[in-house]
Structure 1
Amino acid sequence: MTDASRTNASRTSASRTDAPAPQRADYRHFLVVPTRWMDNDVYGHVNNVVYYSYFDTVINRYLIDEGGLDIVNGPVIGLAAESHCRYRRAVAFPTDLDAGLRVGKLGRSSVRYDIALFPRGEPDAAAEGWFVHVFVDRGTRRPAPLPDRLREALARLA
């Protein structure tokens, strides 16, 4: 790696790290997610792996409630292909979180969700992340087009 490329890589990394926290106004759908006593770890804050559970909850509630996804008998299911979380500041039980959801990219058989977790009433996210679902045929596990109702619901969040 040359000195110039190291400098450019450092700038790129710094600009991502220093980006301002997502704002509540940037998200189109919210679900209240209460933290639970068992979510806290020995350090007194919600453990890192629990954030992915919060992400999964807001996404799947939206898919079921708004998109009509039948998780038991529907012809397609969503499989997790990628996920990421950036922890901006700690939260702890008994905080209620507003999980913000929007669609970053909507494909033929996949969707990338952007999620942010806001302590109730606060404008800045305590955590942010993304999650990619690939929708597949329930039986064959091959990629399948999103059903119309599901695509329409997701398009409202784009």
Structure 2
Amino acid sequence: MPESMPQRADYRHFQPIITRWHDNDVYGHVNNVTYYSFFDTAVNTYLIEKGGLDIHDGEVVGFVVSSACDYFASIAFPDRIEIGLRVGKLGSSSVQYELAVFKADEDEACAAGRFVHVFVERATNRPVAIAGLLREALQQLVM
């Protein structure tokens, strides 16, 4: 668990997401596994739009090799949320993303997560250096 509650000002980029009816579980809140989908959506939208990642035909793809999430407050359909995104560590072939779930217009996070992408050559699944536009986009998120 983070030492202090993540705040909106701690993040560099925000991806709006509208919760869906089927995100709720039988307890009436968004199921924990769905948060990982939100994180994946926020990161990959950013990589496609800002980093030029070609998920269909590109030579390089990102594999998630580690992930975790801490929960502080519930969200539920029909909440409008924003996923805060920053980079905690940018290596030669890997990046650690740090993410947080915020209800629209709220400063304290409802959840905070992290995951690591290793970028690999699609044809061989071997790690490759993060370069060019992709590296530039990730560099903009480093705190």
TM-score between the two structures when normalised by the length of structure 2:
0.97
Of the three residues 102, 114, 134, the one matched with 1:130 is 114
Q: Which residue of 2 aligns with 1:62?
A: 46
Q: Give, in whole Å, the separation in 1 of the partners of 2:34 and 2:20.
A: 10
Q: Does 1:73 align with 2:60?
A: no
Shift of 1:114: 0.2
SS of equivalent residue, structure 2 residue 51: coil
Distance 2:58 2:128 in 1: 12
Percent identity over the alignment is: 57
Q: Which runs of 5+ in 1 are unaligned?
A: 1-15
CA offsets per residue over residues 74-117 of structure 1, 9 Å max, x none?
11100000000001111100001111000000000000000000
Query: How far off is 1:20 after superposition?
Result: 2.3
- Runs of at least 4 residues off by over 4 Å: none
- The one-letter code matched in structure 1 to 2:132 is D
Post-superposition shift, 1:146?
1.0
Matched, 1:147 2:121: no
Give the RMSD, CA atoms, in angstroms. 0.8
TM-score, structure 1 as length reference: 0.88
Structure number with greater CO (CA < 8 Å, separation at least 6) is 2
Gaps spanning 5+ residues in structure 2: where? none
Query: What displacement does 1:21 show?
Result: 1.1
Which AA in structure 2 matches 1:95? D
Task: Point out the structure with the larger helix share.
Answer: 1
User: What per-residue deviation string (whole Å, max 9, x for no partner) do you get for residues 60-80 of structure 1?
Assistant: 000000000000111110000
Deviation digits for residues 4-56 of structure 1 (CA, Å, limit 9, x no counterpart) = xxxxxxxxxxxx46x32100000000010110000000000000100000000
**Aligned residue pairs: how many?**
142
